[in-house]
Chain A
Amino acid sequence: MTTRSSAIIIVAMSGALALGACGSDATKTGTAATGTAASDCPTGTLKAEGSSAQKNAIEAAIKSFQTKCSGTTINYAATGSGAGIKQFIAGQVDFGGSDSTLKDDEAASAATTCASPAWHLPMVTGPVGIAYNLPSVSSLVLNADVTAKIFLGQITMWNDPAIAALNSGTTLPATKISVFFRSDESGTTDNFTKYLKAAAGTAWTVESGKKWNGTAGEGKPQNAGVATAAKSVEGGISYMEWSYVTQNKLGLAKIDNGSGPVELTSASVGKMIETATQKGTGNDLSLTLDYATKTPGAYPINLVTYEIVCSKYKDAAKGKLVKSFLTHFVSADVQKSLEALGYAALPSSVSAKITAAVAAIG
């Protein structure tokens, strides 16, 4: 009896495994038709890891790259910028994705791992939107000072005079403001609080950083968490990546940067990125963002995700593949396609520099 039952179990198990074994990757057959086998198509697999802010952008780029070059597989694990830097330094991934630049000691370790300097390539610009849930208010203007006070719990009602002063002509409801912040450490929090520190001055009284140090509201994990929470409470407000604001049908605040209210668009983000100055030297394109910019029409709260690469790869084949993928990523077509996903295309002045840097990867 037991032999029979064990036989049946083994058959069932192997059946399940066989089911798994006969699968195939989705588009192998599809690419045969479209795959033009471009001459610059290497083959191989890359491992990358890091920022979750660029997840949808890099996945779109990976999809079109893998479609163009069917012999390649690019794996990107969106685990977080900290993990991206750590794994890159440990030599476990071929490139890392990070929303913040390497610290000096990290840069030194990365250079040791690469046996060549590591470069920052700003590949994705993801604006951070201030999302609110007020069905009766279709347009809302905030500035750094008021935003800081809201997120510190000093302004608690939507019809507060400070908000009303920025929104003449709009009837603001007497609803309580519910603040939601990110409970996990994130580049989104880092850039949002850097903006508040730079632009709001003394009104922002706590430290900036990946970890939220504010003293009001409640924390939720990840963009999805704050978006869900803000959506569920009338009067909710939070900061999140642009795509989450639109996907969850939340209100998107315009930011008054000192030269009038600016709507979040690809163009207004591009204007801000153009004001950035290069921090690194040569092909190391780490940027210093001017969050306090007063350029008319520049949307100030932005997050730049860098791909952190070795300037010269020990394994030439890997280097060739990284180069090929990043060339694809920075191309105008791909960058333009990111706009539909809630990112902004790189301004041409910046992308020209990146293209040159990618070409210099050995």
Chain B
Amino acid sequence: MSATSAAETTEATGTPLARLVAARRAAYRADVVTDDPPQLTRGSASRRLTDQVARVVMWASFGLAMVPLVWILGTVVARGYELLLASSWWTLSQRNINAADVGGGAVHAIQGTLIQAAVTAAISVPLGIFTAIHLVEYGRGRLARAVSFMVDILSGVPSIVAALFIYAVWVTTFGFQRIGFAVCLSLVLLMIPVVVRSTEEMLKLVPNGLREGSYALGVPKWITITRIVLPTAFSGIVTGVMLGLARVMGETAPLLILGPYTKSIATNLFDGYMPTLPTMINQDRTEIGLDSAMERMWATALTLILIVLALNLIGRWAARRSSVRR
């Protein structure tokens, strides 16, 4: 810090040192832009060697991180893409398709996953956004600190524990049936922290000047929030919601405990079993010796990845279009 400020002050006075510093800064900037290696005019051989070693390590790490990604995606695509090309995959269910039968459709599971995700979002988004508003716009004192801490705890609650909790309340205590809605409740627990955290970050980025300007005009606080703050942060909030949805759609553990699978189309959240993509994978997974089931399993996995990916891309794209920037 002090080095730079010193450089800046001397730059103005035009001493030879300042010119040297300015030249180094220009070289550095050029370096950043052109990505040439820095011109190392000084420094011992060992320092240069260390620098080169570090460079190699960074590239190698990136390469290493790409290996599992390419491997996993390659496996899923290579083993599962064929079923996705058939139109029946997108229009039919697995009704009357048994493990040894080839193909069938995934539409029942896609529907189930999308419906549960939508209902989960409908509960957790308002709750999450209001919590974030509380933290940013109202939050002072003990409650805000407690909320902030609890959100962190919630973000660390493993999905199996969330599922056990809902099971304890829903089935053990109230004696209700295991239905799609119970799954949604456990997914809400997992989605809230994602929504709160991302909304909170976006609300913090809204310049205070906008709020102050609004207040100065005598606009009530709640109108300021709903008409000024939230629209400004809208894209960022959408991103957070999309990322949260991506997480809950890929969850399997709560479904194993709370959401039995069925092969027929079932869209009623409040009665009967409801199929989803993760439970469909789980259904075929056990038939490890049957090629038909394995192909369907990889195809289902690919379908799930594509849907999650599509949501991630929508979120990312919305973030890029965000009008709020640092």
Question: Is A47 interfacial (CB-CB < 8 Å)?
Answer: yes
CB under 8 Å from chain B, chain A span 55-74: 55-56, 59-60, 62-63, 66-67, 73
Question: 1/0 per position for B257-279, CB-CB distance to A under 8 A?
Answer: 00011111110000011000000
Given contacts A5-B235, A6-B238, A49-B260, contact A23 B318 (CB under 8 A): no
Q: Are B289 and A248 in contact, CB atoms less than 8 angstroms apart?
A: yes
Nearest residue, chain A, Cβ from B288: A224
Nearest-neighbour CB distance to chain B for A239, whole angstroms, equals 16
Question: Is B178 interfacial (CB-CB < 8 Å)?
Answer: yes
CB under 8 Å from chain B, chain A span 1-40: 1-2, 5-6, 9, 12, 16-17, 19-27, 30
Q: Per a CB cutoff under 8 Å, which of A5, A90, A222 touches B286?
A: A222
Question: Is B290 interfacial (CB-CB < 8 Å)?
Answer: yes
Question: Is B107 interfacial (CB-CB < 8 Å)?
Answer: yes
Nearest residue, chain A, Cβ from B245: A13
Residues in B neighbouring A334, C-beta threshold 8 A: none
Nearest residue, chain B, Cβ from A46: B272
Question: Is B91 interfacial (CB-CB < 8 Å)?
Answer: yes
The answer for the CA separation of A52 and B288 in the assembled complex, in Å, is: 14
Question: Is B96 interfacial (CB-CB < 8 Å)?
Answer: yes
Q: Are B262 and A27 in contact, CB atoms less than 8 angstroms apart?
A: no
Question: Is B99 interfacial (CB-CB < 8 Å)?
Answer: yes
The answer for the CA separation of A27 and B94 in the assembled complex, in Å, is: 9
Residues in A neighbouring B323, C-beta threshold 8 A: 1-2
Q: Are B98 and A92 in contact, CB atoms less than 8 angstroms apart?
A: no
Question: Is A139 interfacial (CB-CB < 8 Å)?
Answer: no
The answer for the CA separation of A83 and B290 in the assembled complex, in Å, is: 26
Nearest-neighbour CB distance to chain A for B232, whole angstroms, equals 8
Nearest-neighbour CB distance to chain A for B325, whole angstroms, equals 12
Q: Are A26 and B114 in contact, CB atoms less than 8 angstroms apart?
A: no
Q: Are A25 and B92 in contact, CB atoms less than 8 angstroms apart?
A: yes
Q: Are B290 and A247 in contact, CB atoms less than 8 angstroms apart?
A: yes
Q: Are B110 and A19 in contact, CB atoms less than 8 angstroms apart?
A: yes
The answer for the CA separation of A23 and B107 in the assembled complex, in Å, is: 6
The answer for the CA separation of A227 and B289 in the assembled complex, in Å, is: 8
Question: Interface SS of chain A: helix, strand, loop or mixed?
Answer: helix
Question: Is A244 interfacial (CB-CB < 8 Å)?
Answer: yes
CB under 8 Å from chain B, chain A span 220-254: 222-224, 227-228, 243-244, 246-249
Residues in A neighbouring B318, C-beta threshold 8 A: 5, 9
Residues in B neighbouring A248, C-beta threshold 8 A: 288-289
Q: Are B95 and A227 in contact, CB atoms less than 8 angstroms apart?
A: no
Residues in B neighbouring A30, C-beta threshold 8 A: 96
The answer for the CA separation of A1 and B231 in the assembled complex, in Å, is: 11
The answer for the CA separation of A49 and B286 in the assembled complex, in Å, is: 17
Q: Are B105 and A23 in contact, CB atoms less than 8 angstroms apart?
A: yes
Q: Are A26 and B93 in contact, CB atoms less than 8 angstroms apart?
A: yes
Kindly count the residue-residue contacts between A and B in the assembled complex, taking CB atoms under 8 Å apart.
130
Residues in A neighbouring B94, C-beta threshold 8 A: 26
Q: Are B265 and A67 in contact, CB atoms less than 8 angstroms apart?
A: no
Residues in A neighbouring B286, C-beta threshold 8 A: 52, 55, 222-224
Residues in A neighbouring B93, C-beta threshold 8 A: 23-26
Question: 1/0 per position for A296-321, CB-CB distance to B under 8 A?
Answer: 00000000000000000000000000
The answer for the CA separation of A257 and B264 in the assembled complex, in Å, is: 44
Nearest-neighbour CB distance to chain B for A251, whole angstroms, equals 14
Q: Are A66 and B289 in contact, CB atoms less than 8 angstroms apart?
A: no
Q: Are A23 and B289 in contact, CB atoms less than 8 angstroms apart?
A: no
Residues in B neighbouring A23, C-beta threshold 8 A: 90-93, 105, 107-108, 110-111, 265
Q: Are B111 and A20 in contact, CB atoms less than 8 angstroms apart?
A: yes
Nearest-neighbour CB distance to chain B for A222, whole angstroms, equals 6
CB under 8 Å from chain A, chain B span 101-118: 104-105, 107-108, 110-111, 114-115, 118
Residues in B neighbouring A52, C-beta threshold 8 A: 286
Nearest residue, chain B, Cβ from A222: B286
CB under 8 Å from chain A, chain B span 50-109: 88, 90-100, 104-105, 107-108
The answer for the CA separation of A86 and B175 in the assembled complex, in Å, is: 12
Q: Are B98 and A73 in contact, CB atoms less than 8 angstroms apart?
A: no
Question: Is B24 interfacial (CB-CB < 8 Å)?
Answer: no
Question: Is A215 interfacial (CB-CB < 8 Å)?
Answer: no
The 10 closest A-B pairs by CB, nearest first: A247-B289, A23-B107, A77-B260, A20-B111, A25-B95, A224-B288, A248-B289, A75-B262, A26-B92, A224-B286
Interface pairs (6), CB distance under 8 Å:
A24-B91, A25-B92, A25-B264, A30-B96, A47-B272, A92-B178
A interface vs B, CB < 8 Å?
1-2, 5-6, 9, 12, 16-17, 19-27, 30, 45, 47, 49, 52, 55-56, 59-60, 62-63, 66-67, 73, 75, 77-79, 87, 90, 92, 222-224, 227-228, 243-244, 246-249, 341
Further pairs besides A1-B323, A23-B107, A228-B288: 8, Cβ < 8 Å: A6-B238, A9-B238, A9-B314, A26-B96, A26-B97, A63-B97, A63-B98, A247-B289
